[in-house]
Amino acid sequence: LHYLDYEGPVGNDRGEVRQWDRGDYATVEESPSRVEVRLAGDQLIGTAVLQVDVASNWTFYFSAD
C-alpha cells in the first residue's frame, strides 16, 4: 500500500515504480486454485483470471469487455 499513489525511484537502486492503471475491481470467485475478478480501470475493463494447474503452474487470462 505504500506505493499505491507513489511514482518514482525505489531505494537502494532497486528500480522505479510507475502507475499503469487505476480503477475498481470486484472479486467474482476465489479459491486456492483460482481467482477471478472484474476490472473497471482506466486501461483494463473486463474479467481477469489467475488459475493454477496440476503442475503448480499459474496462468493469467484476461477477457476485455
User: Do residues 45 and 38 touch, judged by C-beta distance below 8 A?
Assistant: no
pLDDT in tens, 24-63: 999 999 999 999 999 999 999 999 999 999 999 999 999 9
Instruction: Tell me the pLDDT band of 4, cut-offs 50, 70 and 90.
Output: confident
Give the C-alpha separation, 28 to 35, whole Å: 8
Is pTM, for the whole model, over 0.85? Answer: no
> Looking at this protein, which amino acid is placed at residue 30?
E
Q: SS3 of 31, please?
A: strand
What is the pLDDT, as a whole number, of residue 16?
93
C-alpha cell of residue 52 = 493454477
The predicted pLDDT at position 25 comes to 97
- Return the pLDDT at 5: 86
